[in-house]
Amino acid sequence: MLVLTFKPAVQNAWEEDLKSHVDFKGWQFISPGGLTYEAANNKRPFVCFGSFQDYLGKNKSTGGIKTKNEWVHTTNWDCVVLDEYHYGAWRENAKELFEAEDKKEAEFADGEGRDYFDEDIMPITTNAYLYLSGTPFRAIASGEFIEEQIYNWTYSDEQRAKEQWQGDDNPYAPLPRMVLLTYQLPDSIREIAMQGEYNEFDLNVFFSAKGEGKNATFTYQDEVQKWLDLIRGAFLETTIDNLKSGAKKPPMPFSDTRLLNILSHTFWFLPSVASCYAMKNLLKQNQNRFYHDYKIVVAAGNNAGIGVAALPPVQKAMDDPLKTKTITLSCMKLTTGVTIKPWTGIFMLRNLSSPETYFQAAFRVQNPWTMQNSDSTSPNTEEIIKRECYVFDFAPDRALRQIDDYSCQLNIDETNSEKKVAEFIKFLPVLAYDGSSMKMLNAADILDMARSGTTATLLARRWESALLVNVDNQTLQRLINNKDAMKALMSIEGFRSLNQEIETIINKSEVLKKIKKDANDRELTKKEKRELSKEEKEYKSLRKQIQEKLIKFATRIPVFMYLTDYRERSLKDVITQLEPGLFKKVTGLSVKDFELLVSLGVFNSSRMNDAVFKFKRYEDASLVYTGINKHEGEDIGLFDTVLSSGDYRATFENM
């Protein structure tokens, strides 16, 4: 068998698999720098591995086939395997990657042979061809192969096989499950980079950098620093929100203990060589002491080595990977065809429009990582070190479009898009953080979000967020001091005993403050500690009940918005001036009462504005699906403010 590849870096993986697989016992592996054809035993089967550049390349001086490769052209092969076949078709779309690197890397990646490969006129004879690719999107979409010629074994197939295996010695057990976590960044971080296709957060702009080596810096250094704080759970804005959200706070890569324990070795995929060095320089600064525990490897630019030569520095930095921690920064190198087992997470920090590029990079972290005889006493036991791996994406719309592309294009046996996505995410769960909470998405959510920018579920969840209402002591005190406000709230179902509950919360708050103040001066007795714990539990429980009741009221607001057609006025105006009767029917609250609660600060106006934004953006699709938009050119109302249609489009649509 002859294996030809566009990516010579995959040689090690081929050799290791051939020599360790039970079905290929006794086979030989001929390769550049390894066993030669002359030294091989021609009575035993063999695989010859080489690159298109080498075996199809011409002798530069004479123009003929390279002399050392003549035997390859005179042998009649049983099978020729064309590995990483997507690379030939995908190369044009991957130019952005080559441009990020230096000229030598681009020339190496491009290689010879691709332009004049044609199986009908190839100067090598064989009985059969086998084309291999992990991301054959274009080959399938172009109809290059008919259904009978395609054999699929995807990530979903291997995970299903792992799940359904009966008995011991599951051969699929070491294959880790993948999890995709997508994050909508706070506006204060992402507003400087709101552009690009679909008007989403533009990662290439956000992580753009200037300068070389030690002098490289980010264009938006302050915002990137905020992002570094965010992923370790130390960004002030989200810290306050997390305290309000309690146990529902989203898992951040370097603060959630479950993730922190797994993410010892991660790969950060950045837009350019300059941004790789800028990130290294920023991570080394004093304010980022947390990251000083990690060895930072820059696998980008001339100094990192061409092609597979970029691999040894990463392996050297890992040393004994169970005892070390590393972060590898790259803008192209090591994203296809290489295996680095200890990588458990990849951060997608650049624009990647083609699904080939996205998943070739993403699946770098999905390689199995096991250890034989890890405790030095059981030579026949194999311990699985990596059971899960993670993809972190900070452009949610883009990430979900890739999932949509991957699952819908590669599963050719199913016609229903939702079923295809559901099958894929059964084994690759997708969690989305929308700025208030993190939720697992189902197939319908992903298709919605990939095609319209948000999902009905995320939209509904936004109206169930604890961040929409204020239940701090000052707000509760203002409520209890205002008889009309208390009367208004008690007129809503579920608020009958509100007066007593708020009084209890405020009283208990004062008691707790006093006990804790006393505790500063002396050691509390066991009885006092028990009392304190009991009081705190009751206090928190009551506050949560009021919060939940107010949220329940907030969830009725989208119903009201759906029923009213006044899109050009702020929601407060529609409620108070245009549709007071409808509002009372839907929510049980009169306009006067609503105004009073707003004035007392019960609702968080900025969060409400954001939630109304998202609702109206989603609603837009249903308003214009016939091609007629009766609100064309009108202003768009939010909760307590109004945007011109131009400002609204600039915020939400690609201009």
**Which residues make Cβ contacts (< 8 Å) with residue 203, sequence separation at least 6?**
193, 271, 348, 349, 350, 351, 394, 395
Greater pLDDT, 591 or 151: 151
Share of the chain above pLDDT 90, in %: 23
Q: 405: pLDDT confidence band, cut at 50, 70 and 90?
A: confident
Q: Find tokens 């006794």 and name the residue.
A: 26
Secondary structure (3-state) at 549: helix
Closest among 392, 430, 454 to 252, alpha carbons compared:
392
Q: 336, 5 in Cβ contact below 8 A?
A: no
Element (DSSP H or E) covering residue 219: none
Q: 228: pLDDT confidence band, cut at 50, 70 and 90?
A: very high
Greater pLDDT, 327 or 590: 327
Pairing of strands 265-269, 345-348: parallel
Greater pLDDT, 536 or 15: 15
| pTM tops 0.75 | no
Opening angle at CA 540, ends 538 and 544, nearest 5: 115
Query: Looking at the DSSP assignment, which residues form a beta bridge with residue 363?
Result: none
Q: 654: pLDDT confidence band, cut at 50, 70 and 90?
A: very low
Residue 163 clears pLDDT 80, i.e. is over it: yes
Element (DSSP H or E) covering residue 487: helix 483-490
Residue 622 clears pLDDT 60, i.e. is over it: no
* CATH 3.40.50.300 placement within the chain: 158-462
Q: 390, 178 in Cβ contact below 8 A?
A: yes
pLDDT per position as a tens digit, 419-463: 888 888 888 898 888 766 677 887 777 776 665 555 555 555 566
pLDDT per position as a tens digit, 518-534: 655 556 677 766 766 67
Share of the chain above pLDDT 70, in %: 63
How far apart are the C-alpha atoms of 81 and 130, rounded to whole Å? 5
Residue 197 clears pLDDT 50, i.e. is over it: no
Using alpha carbons only, how large is the chain's radius of gyration in Å?
30
> Which residues of 225-358 form beta strands (DSSP E)?
265-269, 295-298, 326-330, 345-348
Average model confidence (pLDDT) across the chain: 76
Q: 316: pLDDT confidence band, cut at 50, 70 and 90?
A: very high
Per-residue DSSP letter, 149:
G
Q: 92, 142 in Cβ contact below 8 A?
A: no
Lowest mean pLDDT segment, chosen from 109-113, 160-164, 333-337, 519-523:
109-113
What per-residue confidence (pLDDT) applies to 225?
Answer: 94
Residue 605, token pair as written in the block: 């106006």
The one-letter amino acid code at 521 reads D
Query: Looking at the DSSP assignment, which residues form a beta bridge with residue 125?
Result: 76
> Which residues of 315-437 form beta strands (DSSP E)?
326-330, 345-348, 370-372, 382-384, 388-393, 430-433
How far apart are the C-alpha atoms of 481 and 52, rounded to whole Å? 81
Ranked by mean pLDDT, which of 280-284, 428-432, 597-601, 616-620 comes out on top? 280-284
**Which residues make Cβ contacts (< 8 Å) with residue 177, sequence separation at least 6?**
159, 387, 388, 389, 427, 428
> Which residues of 270-359 form beta strands (DSSP E)?
295-298, 326-330, 345-348
Element (DSSP H or E) covering residue 46: strand 46-51
Q: Find tokens 């057990």 and name the residue.
A: 173
Residue 178, token pair as written in the block: 């993948």
Q: 228, 278 in Cβ contact below 8 A?
A: no
Secondary structure (3-state) at 338: coil
Q: Domain 158-462 belongs to what topology?
A: Rossmann fold (3.40.50)
Residue 540 clears pLDDT 70, i.e. is over it: no
What per-residue confidence (pLDDT) applies to 286?
Answer: 95
Greater pLDDT, 219 or 535: 219
Closest among 135, 141, 145, 112 to 6, alpha carbons compared:
112
Residue 80, token pair as written in the block: 């020729």
